[in-house]
Amino acid sequence: MVRVTVLGSGDAFGSGGRLHSAYMVESAGVTFLIDCGPTILQSLKSGQHDTGRIDFVLVSHLHGDHFGGIPFLFMEYIYERPRRRPLGVYGPLGTERRVHALFAALYEKNAQMPTPFPVRFEQLEPGTTRDIGGVRVSAFCVPHTPELVALGYRIEIDGRSILYSGDSAWTEDFIARSRGADLFICECSTYETRLDIHVAYPEIAARARDLGCKRLLLSHLGAEPLRHLSDITLECARDGMIVEL
Tens of pLDDT, residue by residue over 81-99, are 999 999 999 999 999 999 9
CATH value at residue 37: 3.60.15.10
How far is residue 12's CA from residue 244's CA, in Å, rounded to a whole number?
A: 26
Predicted pLDDT of residue 71: 99
Predicted pLDDT of residue 217: 99
Portion of the chain with pLDDT greater than 90, in percent:
100
Portion of the chain with pLDDT greater than 70, in percent:
100
Q: How confident is the model at residue 63 (pLDDT cuts 50, 70, 90)?
A: very high
Specify whether the CB–CB gap between 237 and 185 falls below 8 A: yes
Tens of pLDDT, residue by residue over 90-139, are 999 999 999 999 999 999 999 999 999 999 999 999 999 999 999 999 99
Predicted pLDDT of residue 40: 99
Specify whether the CB–CB gap between 56 and 95 falls below 8 A: no
Measured in whole angstroms, the distance separating CA 215 from the mean position of its chain's CA atoms is 17
The β-bridge partners of 58 are 34, 90
Average pLDDT over residues 63-72: 99
Average pLDDT over residues 63-68: 99
Tens of pLDDT, residue by residue over 159-168, are 999 999 999 9
Angle at CA of residue 30, ends 157 and 243, nearest 5°: 60
- H-helix or E-strand spanning residue 114: none
Give how many domains the chain has, as a whole number.
1
How far is residue 109's CA from residue 128's CA, in Å, rounded to a whole number?
A: 36
How far is residue 28's CA from residue 172's CA, in Å, rounded to a whole number?
A: 34
> Average pLDDT, whole number, for the chain?
98
Tens of pLDDT, residue by residue over 182-197, are 999 999 999 999 999 9
- H-helix or E-strand spanning residue 54: none
Average pLDDT over residues 52-66: 99
Specify whether the CB–CB gap between 161 and 170 falls below 8 A: no
Domain limits for position 153? 3-244
Candidates 123, 147, 144, 132; CA nearest to 59 is 123
Q: How confident is the model at residue 203 (pLDDT cuts 50, 70, 90)?
A: very high
* Catalytically annotated residue among 11, 65, 182, 239: 65
CB 214: neighbour CB atoms within 10 A?
Answer: 14
Predicted pLDDT of residue 98: 99
Q: Is pTM beyond 0.95 here? A: yes
CB 228: neighbour CB atoms within 10 A?
Answer: 12
Examine the residue annotation and report whether 65 is marked as an active-site residue of this protein: yes
